[in-house]
A = this chain, B = another copy of it.
Amino acid sequence: MSLKHGLLGLLNYGSMTGYELSKTFNDSLGFFWQGKTSQIYRELTDMEKLGWLKSERVVQHDKPNKKLYTITEDGRNELSNWLIDGNSSINDALYVRSSFLMRVFFAGEVSSSQATSLIREFQKQCKLALSAFDTTSSIIDEYSKIVADKNKSKYWRIVAMFGEAYYKASLDWADKSLLLLEDEE
């Protein structure tokens, strides 16, 4: 149950609407968790029923009315329990679900040119993903101004480091694999 806890974590920084949450969620946690707006709205109503949040309707005249969510004491407790209690397993931490790797696994069934083009596409996307990290540091700087707690942005940087290392390792692998496959021809 991590979408709920991700939302709790964000609401702990300050009250937000579903719409804002949805954007912030995918902007900041998007590397390791994503959620569609439809799901986020569903989870929010669910969380309000659980007493983790409360909402108030804010009437606007220039824009559609909105619903502002605020974390409750129960919500804060739930968040810190989830953070501490390590019912995180290998799965939680290390499990990569990748239909791309599944395709590679079975790539012996198609021509080797089709196999290499699959990996080349992956290689391209790794480079793209890596280039996005050029601006990450300054984005974190901006966010951390809002939250104004250096302790928090410290961990954001550490998570971003993981992302960068991951894409770098993926790119290295793609390069190496393509060399291996070309050598054998």
Interface residues of chain A, those whose CB is within 8 Å of chain B, are 2, 5-6, 9, 12, 28-29, 31-34, 79-80, 82-84, 86, 88, 90-110, 114-115, 118, 121-122, 125-126, 128-129, 149, 151-152, 154-156, 158-159, 161-162, 165-170, 172-173, 176-177, 180-181, 184
Contact = CB atoms under 8 A, between A and B. Distances in A.
B86 A118 contact: yes
B109 A83 contact: yes
Given A83-B103, A109-B9, A159-B104, A96 B32 contact: yes
The 7 closest A-B pairs by CB, nearest first: A108-B152, A169-B169, A93-B100, A2-B99, A32-B101, A9-B106, A32-B98
